[in-house]
Structure 1
């Protein structure tokens, strides 16, 4: 016998949702513009309040927007559900009036941040309101997720320690799949220091930082292991002053992707142990792990199995996958919290001028989220 759930996709007022979503997308909110992110937080706070949720707001720093928290139920419950979202986007102001205007073409809805992840953030509030007194949950809106959650990470981890499960409203992947794992990431900068000299008159006095960096790049790129999911990318190179000067400095910016804790330890140790072949060259290595690897532990799999029949009852399958990109779910999973990610709508092309969501995916996934909140409150999943 198929279990019934109190909220159905047809209960969702989709036109009202899309009207509010358009207002959110119209407030362009690139991470580097804290005033713009705060304007978006103003709108989200007003909507949360209108839905009957309690709202608090917390400044971070001068370069970052505010943290916003909306909740239903008493504070400081040790068994609440934490919902993670973010209000910042990668798109600079002007995308809306330029290459990525709000528009609908068939089932596709376009706009900066519409898929990643203003729709998911709005869904979190609507689901909390739909669940009402049948849940105790907190929605945490992060202002700087797209640049690494440097200002928001402590808040994420503090909130996670009071929760028993975490739901992340990042968009669905690959045709609606849910995310039960993500590669971790590390960011490194290596400054290669050599010795300047005139390349025509005294080349023997110089020690080329660029030549040493070229050798180093080959070493770094050799750490790539696609079979294991390890990625090491030297993405930016800056060096030299003039064409006739032996370069004294070359700077490498490196992105590292890590599938699990073992790979994280191996690769970061190898990078941090790099030394130059030439004793007259010096490496200055800074950086480290920015997001720990997120693996599908038993608690996360139990959370998945709780959500799976709800999704099926809403009319779609819940298929798990591991994503190459990171999210704030990496932090909560690393703390041992059951974490289910990719709960936002289906769509494609995040971070591009073709970013869009699929409108028919909104109501079923919003209804699933609300029912999951109710189910976790009334009948806690085994293993959570």
Structure 2
């Protein structure tokens, strides 16, 4: 299927089926931490994909988490299409956030991030016979602890990775994502009675406060680097000098040099109070997706959008990470945000704009056809 044969009209005709597929996926709740729910969701996704693509996927279970891989055709892998079927929404969320379509807007837990993207992928890939791997993971919202290696292995050597995460504001494609590092800082002191002999204690809570201030100073707004202390805990009772404390740190960076710089500074933290101890664990979670990894694919997509009559496209740099960070990290050209247009990811107002579904699915299909046919960049 060459890109010249793909048009918005085809997917406008398929819109009721696309919406029906999204509904089925949304009604199958799949919180990342619930292994049984994710396994059941994988069965639903597998059945849907098999019906649309005519090919059964491999079910890949890693650390109890269920992922799916379709390999279309017997030829070499040229394009990786990447998505996930887990969500942040706990079981029972449909009771408070029911699936609905009203006034051109589709709502439901996980619809935007990113079950609509999965339905779009199945429809865009239907009819393609070779050269594509579709990988749907089940732990993206946790940081892809079990699937990272799988993603990187599938992406290595591909000409392109197309990520079906939802678009940025206004439908913008995501051409740059910050890298993410996560740390835990543990502080140890010495307990003592806060009323009788506080001077005999080493206050881990106070030491944690010193360390949080030091950590916050590692950010560099001019470089786009944020280093943010987050979850904090210390102590056991209100009348005891805390003997232990800990806090989490979220790091976002635009480039690998900054990620390395922050990592070295985090590991160099030293205690301030005499007798206190500081331990830092964690590290890089996702490398940055830098603009250079996406610029050629974005230019190609821009040209195709103009030909389809749905241009011009817009691009955005975002702080949130995705599995596209991993594909870019192994050197594979990557374009992200090709999924649904809408908003409210992880929030009460999560939604998808119905009218955009045919256009975005047509763009995905055209981009796939163009890449597989070896078309020149436009």
If the length of structure 1 is used for normalisation, what is the TM-score?
Answer: 0.94
Q: Which runs of 5+ in 1 are unaligned?
A: none
Match of 1:189 among 169, 184, 187: 184
Give the Cα–Cα distance (whole angstroms) in 2 for the partners of residues 380 and 58 of structure 1.
Answer: 33
Question: CA offset at residue 267 of structure 1?
Answer: 1.2
Match of 1:311 among 305, 310, 314: 305
Question: CA offset at residue 15 of structure 1?
Answer: 0.5
Instruction: Name the counterpart of 1:128.
Output: 125
Name segments (4+ residues, structure 1) moved above 3 Å: 380-383
Give the Cα–Cα distance (whole angstroms) in 2 for the partners of residues 231 and 103 of structure 1.
Answer: 37
Instruction: Name the counterpart of 2:72.
Output: 72
- Residues 73-101 of structure 1: CA deviation (Å, up to 9, x unaligned): 116x1x42001100000011111111x11
Instruction: Name the counterpart of 1:215.
Output: 210
Check whether the contact 1:302–1:381 (CA below 8 A) recurs between aligned residues: no
Check whether the contact 1:58–1:66 (CA below 8 A) recurs between aligned residues: yes
- Residues 182-225 of structure 1: CA deviation (Å, up to 9, x unaligned): 00001100111000011111211100000111111111122233
Instruction: Name the counterpart of 1:114.
Output: 111
Give the Cα–Cα distance (whole angstroms) in 1 for the partners of residues 173 and 217 of structure 2.
Answer: 32
Give the Cα–Cα distance (whole angstroms) in 1 for the partners of residues 237 and 49 of structure 2.
Answer: 56
Distance 1:180 1:278, change over 3 A: same
Give the Cα–Cα distance (whole angstroms) in 2 for the partners of residues 31 and 353 of structure 1.
Answer: 18
Q: Which runs of 5+ in 2 are unaligned?
A: none
Aligned to 2:298, the other structure's residue is in SS state helix
Instruction: Name the counterpart of 1:240.
Output: 235
Give the Cα–Cα distance (whole angstroms) in 1 for the partners of residues 157 and 91 of structure 2.
Answer: 36
Aligned residues: 373
Question: CA offset at residue 352 of structure 1?
Answer: 0.6
Aligned to 1:256, the other structure's residue is in SS state strand
Give the Cα–Cα distance (whole angstroms) in 2 for the partners of residues 221 and 320 of structure 1.
Answer: 30
Aligned to 1:235, the other structure's residue is in SS state strand
Check whether the contact 2:3–2:367 (CA below 8 A) recurs between aligned residues: no
Give the Cα–Cα distance (whole angstroms) in 1 for the partners of residues 16 and 61 of structure 2.
Answer: 33
Instruction: Name the counterpart of 2:270.
Output: 275
Check whether the contact 2:188–2:277 (CA below 8 A) recurs between aligned residues: yes
Instruction: Name the counterpart of 2:86.
Output: 88
Check whether the contact 2:46–2:56 (CA below 8 A) recurs between aligned residues: no
Question: CA offset at residue 34 of structure 1?
Answer: 1.2
- Residues 316-346 of structure 1: CA deviation (Å, up to 9, x unaligned): 3221221110000101111111000000011
Give the Cα–Cα distance (whole angstroms) in 2 for the partners of residues 141 and 259 of structure 1.
Answer: 26
Match of 2:102 among 85, 92, 105: 105
Give the Cα–Cα distance (whole angstroms) in 1 for the partners of residues 115 and 290 of structure 2.
Answer: 26
Question: CA offset at residue 381 of structure 1?
Answer: 4.5
Match of 2:63 among 56, 61, 64: 61
Check whether the contact 1:178–1:318 (CA below 8 A) recurs between aligned residues: yes
Check whether the contact 1:67–1:142 (CA below 8 A) recurs between aligned residues: yes
Question: CA offset at residue 300 of structure 1?
Answer: 2.4
Give the Cα–Cα distance (whole angstroms) in 2 for the partners of residues 226 and 234 of structure 1.
Answer: 15
Check whether the contact 2:3–2:370 (CA below 8 A) recurs between aligned residues: no
Give the Cα–Cα distance (whole angstroms) in 1 for the partners of residues 358 and 199 of structure 2.
Answer: 70
Question: CA offset at residue 68 of structure 1?
Answer: 0.3
Q: Determine whether 1:10 maps to 2:9.
A: yes
If the length of structure 2 is used for normalisation, what is the TM-score?
Answer: 0.95
Q: Determine whether 1:360 maps to 2:355.
A: yes
Give the Cα–Cα distance (whole angstroms) in 2 for the partners of residues 253 and 287 of structure 1.
Answer: 10
- Aligned CA-pair RMSD: 1.7
Q: Determine whether 1:172 maps to 2:167.
A: yes
Aligned to 1:191, the other structure's residue is in SS state strand
